[in-house]
Homo-oligomer: A and B are copies of this chain.
Amino acid sequence: MEYKQAILVRQDLKLPAGKMAAQAAHASVECIFRADKSLVKAWRAEGMGKIVVKVADEKELYSYVQQAKDLGIATAVITDAGHTVVEPGTVTCAGIGPDTAEKVDKVIGKLKLA
């Protein structure tokens, strides 16, 4: 795969699966709006490869997001409105890319699948 998107989810929140799915979708979409259109087009043509990986907590999440920013990769940090499961404004997950798999893997290559 030449292009990919990564979604980082906080493990410490222990979100219910459906909540995690909604937040991950939010991250994916917001990142697509922010990413370079030609990258999005190439990524979509290739089947929209994406990977959902675990980060320990908010601090770790932001450290990976910063690494992505430093490489010029589109990012989106998602906070939950907090009506139900978590406190309002809680950072739940982040999107990184789509961008080249080579660049994305530089950031998230060592993280484990969620």
Interface residues of A (CB under 8 A from B): 7, 9, 17-30, 32-33, 44, 47-48, 50-54, 81, 113-114
Contacts and interface: CB of A to CB of B under 8 A. Distances in A.
Contacts of A26: 28, 48, 50
Nearest to A49: B81
Contacts of A22: 7, 24, 50-52
A91 to B, nearest CB: 16
Contacts of A30: 48
10 contacts: A17-B17, A17-B20, A18-B54, A18-B114, A21-B23, A21-B114, A24-B25, A25-B25, A26-B28, A26-B50
- Residue picked from A18, A26, A113, most chain B C-beta under 10 Å: A18
Given A17-B114, A18-B9, A52-B18, A33 B25 contact: no
B50 A25 contact: yes
Contact of A29 (B28, B54, B113): B28
A33 B47 CA distance: 13
